[in-house]
Structure 1
Amino acid sequence: MVRPPHTNATVLGITGTAHAQTDWIASVTGRIGWAVDRWFIYAKGGAAWAGDRYSADVPIFVEHIEANETRPGWTVGGGVEWAFSQNWSAKLEYDFYDFGTRSVTFTGTIFGVPEVVPGINIKETISTVKFGINYRFVP
């Protein structure tokens, strides 16, 4: 889970808070690289998806709205992998994810009355660093 960012904004003396949270990221990628002895240096890219939740609150209006979605996007990255024994390797990798800008419709309540707020544009990019240990099953 990615730590939820939030922002406060004041318009005409009215303050509200917006939150965004990415619960999961999935990708399907391919990688290509250069192998030397026990080292593999590579670049990778492919398709990506993110599970996001958004919410906003304006306390003076007793307003709470929220939305969630699965966003499609793309990813590129690169890394280095080291085979430290016959079946084991370790890798360090950087990945950049871009999910573009999407128009999201929020639903919720204002003064206890149901409301729909369409057309809120949300841009999303994510950077990650991964460390992994791999085991290869060799016959």
Structure 2
Amino acid sequence: MKKASFAATALVLIAGSAMAADLPSYKAPPPPPPPIMTWTGLYAGLNFGVGFYDRNSSNAWGVGWGNHGGSRAGVVGGGQIGYNYQITPMFVVGLETDFQGTSIGSGAGGNSWGWFFGLPPVTTATLNWFGTVRGRAGITVLNSKVLIYGTGGFAYGEVQRNGWWNQNSAVQTGWTAGGGAEWMVITNWSLKLEYLYTQISGTGNNNNWFWVFNPGWGLNSPNNRTRFHTIRAGVNYHFSFGSPAPVLAKY
């Protein structure tokens, strides 16, 4: 009797173990891998910095030839929007446009010929705003988190010149070139530092013409070239519309 009871208990234990082995595992799957780091996609952001005229910028208008009478540094601030495409883990290309308000100006004086007629050489030029449309190309370092790039393209802006008796504002066009570095601090957010050299030019309002002795003389607003430097820091949010989706393991 005892032998029969022992045998029955052993059969029950063996059957239970076999059934437990056939049950599915409820072990939680491992967490998904982190998002793939990529510069590809649309981004937008804000920037702020300083700017000043180049010493060769011909920003004055007056009697005869004229250059600006010293640069007055000013603040620069605005926004940008662009798109990057990461060709390889190392190379990135893109397109960016930005628009800036500024307080960059030139001081009074300069090489104006007003002294010849007993007139003070009071001429100032202020860059009210400017914008650019630029291509970008660069390389990534530090596990693709830092992008070092060069940039260049089209530029435009409004320059206001103040003379002895009136003002003249004109929208000028030209080119810009420079470079910078951008650091992806956390997912979707980056910080950047950028330098641009810009040259825009164009004739002023014809109402500033008074009289002309010969080309290069007279009270006029000549074909001025406005050259200036800007250094800006900024922040961008990357929407990552073009980034590849992370590969998830199946369980």
TM range (shorter): 0.7 to 0.9
Partner of 2:151: 44
Given that 1:66 and 1:107 are in contact with CA atoms closer than 8 Å, whether structure 2 keeps it comes out as: no
Can you give the 5+ residue segments of structure 2 that lack an aligned partner in the other structure? 1-101, 212-218, 242-251
Output the CA distance in 2 between the equivalents of 1:78 and 1:4: 23
1:104 is aligned with what amino acid?
G
Structure 2 vs 1, CA of residues 118 and 27 (structure 1 numbering), >3 Å: closer, same or farther?
A: same
TM-score, normalised on structure 2?
Answer: 0.46
Q: What secondary structure is seen at the aligned counterpart in 2 of 1:15?
A: coil
Matched, 1:32 2:161: no
| C-alpha displacement of 1:119 | 4.8
Q: What secondary structure is seen at the aligned counterpart in 1 of 2:239?
A: coil
Output the CA distance in 2 between the equivalents of 1:29 and 1:132: 16
Matches within 5 A, 1:1-139: 1-8=102-109, 11-12=115-116, 13-36=118-141, 37=143, 38-57=145-164, 64-100=165-201, 102-105=202-205, 107=207, 117-138=219-240
Q: Count matched residues.
A: 126
Percent identity reads 27
| C-alpha displacement of 1:30 | 0.8
Given that 2:188 and 2:239 are in contact with CA atoms closer than 8 Å, whether structure 1 keeps it comes out as: yes
- The structure where strand makes up a greater share of residues is 1
| C-alpha displacement of 1:23 | 0.6
Q: Which has the higher Rg, Structure 1 or Structure 2?
A: 2
Structure 2 vs 1, CA of residues 118 and 89 (structure 1 numbering), >3 Å: closer, same or farther?
A: same
Output the CA distance in 2 between the equivalents of 1:77 and 1:3: 19
- The structure where helix makes up a greater share of residues is 2
Structure 2 vs 1, CA of residues 106 and 18 (structure 1 numbering), >3 Å: closer, same or farther?
A: farther
Can you give the 5+ residue segments of structure 1 that lack an aligned partner in the other structure? 58-63, 109-114
| C-alpha displacement of 1:7 | 2.0
The higher relative CO (CA closer than 8 Å, separation ≥ 6) is in: 2
Residues 11-50 of structure 1 show CA distances to partners (whole Å, capped at 9, x for unaligned) of 1343131111111010000100001221100000000001
TM-score, normalised on structure 1?
Answer: 0.79
